[in-house]
A and B are shown apart, each in its own frame.
Chain A
């Protein structure tokens, strides 16, 4: 197991290197020149050229890339052109906000989606099953930007229950903090909730027809234990895969949700940086997100083993067998 984790960690290096190359190239393809964007339309040509040189943007692209990688190896994510701050500081400021939002959304999604899927599967073809299936289909196909705006319109503008934008501070009290959190988390939770419900349902349906479920029933244990102990643990693997993917993408910053609610997380930071052509911020934050993605997936792979004792890891094949 230790060997397996070590080899997976080593394997992360080439993955991240490739991500770094791709992100570097893509940011360079965005039309628009950072120096002129930063200085505004009124700036003189000389000023723009001077800034371009100061930022090192006049160097050939491969030299820029080598410098970037060199800095990364030293643990230096670079300095933001627009914020005038080390990017590490920006990430340290923003990432916890994203984590709070993502974790709240995941808790909502898990608490609602998974039980809904279980109920749906155990009452297959009943009215409640059809209702849950229909609602979750609507859920997965929900345009988030529209839902977010509608929630703001109704609950913030009409009813005035929750603030429309921004992130509360603990200094104003926990209630205010929670009020700021509710609408963005619900918005962000919609698709994961529906996804969990659908995956749980299909995975449970496959499991509850298995012989060992009949064995469990033949022992005289209650239906609740049959479903939650015997069936659910077996149905958990596909759910874990989806959970891993959802965590990764939510931690990467929910770009749409954060933009609608002006939530100061990673998503909003990336959007700002793209608008300002702040290449270094885009590169480094995307690379950071890739890092999170890879780590979460590694954790999920390790958790498979906890859930399913049949899975064993071998280092020589570098994967599961």
Chain B
């Protein structure tokens, strides 16, 4: 069995609304080994959730459509599978948990029913065995009095508990890949750490890989081996967590790092932000998508789309000024130059 679990090549996803075509994901590529965790980070609208949802082919069609690329999961191209074959993968080999646990569980069925459903869909167990397995899953995700909680409804659980239930549903069939779409964003800070720790613990016990979608770099440092930084539907930087933490290259990644709130940020200082907002993806973007907000942008950035190049070993970035030969200095922001290149 090869070590490679998932390879995504040039994934393109578009949404059509009336005559407007929005290119939400524009040729995203990455790969993931077994038991490896990859983080996808970017601000809202960068295409990270769409990328993740596309892996399970759960993009609502219409309006969305996967228009190009390959998703190779263990030698199978998921985009070529029949709907039936795809359903065998969902929840069984690839599972997903979502951002808001208060809306992602069905309010009219007990949590037990919802876990059992997942188990019975993919495993040949009778009702009693499935129930036992579901109770076991609830215990595994740290829900006290699991047997009693089994027959309770989602509204009788707190947010953190609901996310634990979602994790129980997702892991019930021992998936090889777990896609976590901002699993802690909607939770209290205190609960966030618990959920992340739970995911890490369970990952070791069932040997699953995780794709962690987040806008919080802290979550990535905590949980992942590799990182993809996405902006406007493109990957702008990728590499190992260690590389990107120690030696980030893309100005957008710098912006993300600078806007983190860490212990070293004093309460006197104004918080750092990236000025402007992401481009409208329904318009054609020429050049680097980040150029309009980039403090280092020059003429070429607006004209030519930068290629993804390997700037250091295993560390890729798409910036005209970050090559093996030439590097930008993160601290020297050429703020004044921005006035010259306004389009």
> When the two chains form their complex, are residues A217 and B90 in contact, meaning their CB atoms are under 8 A apart?
yes
A125 contacts which chain B residues (CB < 8 A)?
Answer: 62
Contact pattern, B 79-91, Cβ under 8 Å of A = 1, otherwise 0? 0000000011111
The residue from A209, A210, A214, A230 contacting B58, defined by CB atoms under 8 A apart: A214
> When the two chains form their complex, are residues B118 and A219 in contact, meaning their CB atoms are under 8 A apart?
yes
Known: A215-B98, A220-B121. A230 touches B90 (CB 8 A): no
Contact pattern, A 236-278, Cβ under 8 Å of B = 1, otherwise 0? 0000000000000000000000000000000000000000000
Stretch from B69-77, B101-109, B260-268 that touches the partner: B101-109
Q: B87-128: which have CB < 8 Å to A? A: 87-92, 95-96, 98, 100, 103-109, 117-118, 121-122
> When the two chains form their complex, are residues B106 and A230 in contact, meaning their CB atoms are under 8 A apart?
yes
- A75, CB-defined interface residue at 8 Å: no
B304 nearest CB across to chain A (Å): 38
> When the two chains form their complex, are residues A215 and B105 in contact, meaning their CB atoms are under 8 A apart?
yes
User: Closest residue to A124 on the B side, CB-wise?
Assistant: B62
Known: A211-B103, A309-B108, A310-B155. A218 touches B92 (CB 8 A): no
Question: How far, in whole Å, are A125 and B96 apart by their CA atoms in the complex?
Answer: 29
The residue from A210, A212, A218, A233 contacting B96, defined by CB atoms under 8 A apart: A218
> When the two chains form their complex, are residues A220 and B107 in contact, meaning their CB atoms are under 8 A apart?
no
> When the two chains form their complex, are residues B166 and A234 in contact, meaning their CB atoms are under 8 A apart?
no
Q: B158-173: which have CB < 8 Å to A? A: 166, 169
Question: How far, in whole Å, are A206 and B239 apart by their CA atoms in the complex?
Answer: 41
A217 nearest CB across to chain B (Å): 6
> When the two chains form their complex, are residues A219 and B58 in contact, meaning their CB atoms are under 8 A apart?
no
- Size of the A side of the interface (Cβ < 8 Å), in residues, is 21
Question: How far, in whole Å, are A220 and B100 apart by their CA atoms in the complex?
Answer: 20
- B153, CB-defined interface residue at 8 Å: yes
> When the two chains form their complex, are residues B103 and A219 in contact, meaning their CB atoms are under 8 A apart?
no
- A320, CB-defined interface residue at 8 Å: no
A78 nearest CB across to chain B (Å): 47
Q: A297-312: which have CB < 8 Å to B? A: 307-310
- B56, CB-defined interface residue at 8 Å: yes
Contact pattern, B 32-56, Cβ under 8 Å of A = 1, otherwise 0? 0000000000000000000001001
B164 nearest CB across to chain A (Å): 14
- A216, CB-defined interface residue at 8 Å: yes
Given contacts A125-B62, A211-B100, 12 further A-B contacts (CB under 8 A): A211-B98, A216-B106, A217-B90, A219-B90, A220-B87, A220-B89, A220-B121, A233-B108, A233-B109, A309-B108, A309-B153, A310-B107
- Interface residues, chain A, with chain B CB atoms under 8 Å away: 125, 209-212, 214-222, 230, 233-234, 307-310
A-B contact pairs, 5 of them (CB 8 A): A211-B98, A212-B107, A218-B58, A218-B95, A219-B118
